[in-house]
């Protein structure tokens, strides 16, 4: 009798269509609680011995991988893999795949929502009115049409954000050393040569880049000082891009007029994080891509990545984060019949 095949989802939810895809493949689906601790995660991995993991909530590191001897694929429920120790996975021959672009429109919409709420001071005005204050006398708002929106990164989310921003009358510029000139031209967005140049000219800065050692705390005391006085900062990418201590000081000094944050250095943030109570900051709990439409697309793509690889099928090369394990022949998937030649260039 063959051993059952299990897929573990780190988190309590998965889109019904993605769940059905697992069931149709005659594979068992197991869920962890939200944001599982290392102990909870390793317990689930040791007990259920999954061959695939859909990484949704929390970190997935070497300790977890060592508790999962049958694990062949970690599939990120989204595009950013900073919560997965990719080096540890590579050392163990575990493929890491991602679902780029599937939630891009939803995140872009949330970016614009945070932008409007922050610049238009919606949250403090709502709070004041509910507390019995009529704050129209002395209030002076900001008109965003004609302002410059600077996008740091110009991938799928930023491109959608650019389209929405231009529809609101914003002038859009962007910096991305990896994007092709043709992408900027197609979107009608002016390409900026450096982050510092973008920070200096933008009225509103929106972050759309991955978190890696080179971008950790890219927004810090020095870069915040480069930003225009009374400018705004929006982050729907990764919390570690910003030094929250430095941002708080820039907000309290009045140099930065406001910030809209969907991501934080620590998630969930500590209850005593001072940004939570800062009047000029709009905060949401990392839900930019959490919509029914995006959840369906991301869930299906994440599950299909596992199922296809376990079945020995090729997936798009840009979805594989550590292709070197196939070139070196160290991928655990190769024992399942996957042909390493599928991932050769040419």
d(Cα 305, Cα 316) in Å, to the nearest integer? 9
Q: Do residues 7 and 29 make contact, with C-beta atoms less than 8 angstroms apart?
A: yes
Which residue in this structure is represented by tokens 């302002």?
147
CB 225 within 8 A of CB 253: no
CB-CB neighbours of 176 under 10 Å: 20
Q: Which long-range contacts (CB under 8 A, 24 or more apart) does 159-167 make?
A: 159/104, 159/183, 159/187, 160/104, 160/105, 160/107, 160/108, 160/109, 161/108, 161/111, 161/112, 161/206, 161/208, 162/187, 162/189, 163/108, 163/187, 164/108, 164/109, 164/111, 164/112, 165/112, 165/115
For helices 292-310 and 104-119, give the axis angle rounded to 10 degrees. Answer: 150
Which residue intervals of the chain are DSSP H helices?
A: 16-24, 38-48, 62-66, 86-91, 104-119, 122-130, 156-167, 181-187, 195-201, 221-226, 244-253, 292-310, 324-327
If you count them, how many residues does the chain have?
346
Residues 82 and 104: their CA atoms lie apart, in Å, by 17
Closest CA to 261 of 289, 234, 237, 223: 234
Q: Which residues are annotated as catalytic?
A: 238, 267, 286
């Amino acid at each position: 009798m063959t051993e059952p095949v299990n897929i573990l989802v780190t988190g309590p939810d998965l889109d019904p269509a993605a769940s059905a895809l697992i069931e149709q493949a005659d594979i068992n689906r197991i869920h962890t609680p939200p944001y599982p601790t290392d102990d909870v995660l390793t317990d689930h991995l040791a007990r259920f011995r999954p061959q695939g993991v859909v990484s949704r909530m929390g970190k997935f590191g070497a300790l977890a991988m060592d508790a999962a001897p049958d694990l062949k694929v970690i599939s990120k429920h989204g595009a950013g893999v900073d919560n997965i120790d990719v080096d540890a996975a590579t050392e163990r021959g575990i493929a890491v795949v991602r679902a780029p672009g599937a939630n891009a429109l939803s995140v872009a919409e949330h970016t614009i929502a945070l932008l409007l709420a922050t610049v238009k001071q919606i949250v403090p005005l709502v709070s004041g009115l509910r507390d019995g204050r009529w704050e129209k006398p002395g209030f002076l708002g900001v008109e965003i049409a004609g302002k410059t929106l600077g996008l740091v990164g110009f991938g799928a989310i930023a491109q959608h954000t650019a389209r929405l921003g231009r529809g609101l009358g914003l002038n859009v510029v962007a910096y991305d050393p990896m994007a092709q000139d043709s992408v900027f031209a197609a979107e009608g967005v002016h390409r900026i040569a450096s982050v510092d140049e973008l920070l200096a000219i933008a009225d509103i800065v929106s972050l759309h880049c991955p978190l890696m050692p080179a971008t950790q705390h890219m927004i810090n005391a020095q870069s915040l000082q480069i930003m225009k006085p009374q400018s705004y900062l929006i982050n729907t990418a990764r919390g570690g891009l910003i030094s929250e201590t430095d941002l708080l000081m820039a907000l309290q000094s009045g140099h930065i007029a406001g910030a809209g944050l969907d991501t934080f250095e620590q998630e969930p943030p500590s209850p005593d994080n001072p940004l939570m109570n800062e009047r000029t900051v709009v905060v949401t709990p990392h839900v930019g891509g959490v919509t029914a439409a995006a959840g369906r697309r991301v869930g299906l793509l994440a599950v299909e990545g596992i199922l296809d690889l376990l079945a020995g099928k090729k997936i798009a090369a840009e979805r594989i984060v550590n292709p070197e394990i196939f070139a070196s022949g160290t991928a655990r998937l190769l024992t399942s019949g996957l042909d390493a030649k599928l991932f050769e260039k040419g």
